[in-house]
Amino acid sequence: MPYVVFVQGADDLEDLRNMAYAAANKIRGGSTEHWDVERPSGTAFYFMTWEAAFAFTAHCARTGIRYLNE
């Protein structure tokens, strides 16, 4: 079951996609699957490992991006 980070009101969605890619690829020296789905109220980022989701959540917190963990 994937780990979901829901982001609202992001100005640069492409930058967040790049961060999601980086988070998914630096965990344990390998790559893990990730994807995003745009919804009417924001974007859901899905990660197959909790470490990647945590790294992405930390990035959102550091940069002031509103997020929820689902």
Domain boundaries, the chain: 3-69
Q: Which residues lie below 8 Å from residue 51, measured CB to CB, with a gap of 6+?
A: 27, 28
> How high does pLDDT run on average in the chain?
89
pTM listed for this prediction: 0.88
Task: Give percent above pLDDT 70 in the chain.
Answer: 93
Q: Are 47 and 11 in contact (CB under 8 A)?
A: no
Considering the domain delimited by 3-69, tell me its CATH architecture: 2-Layer Sandwich (3.30)
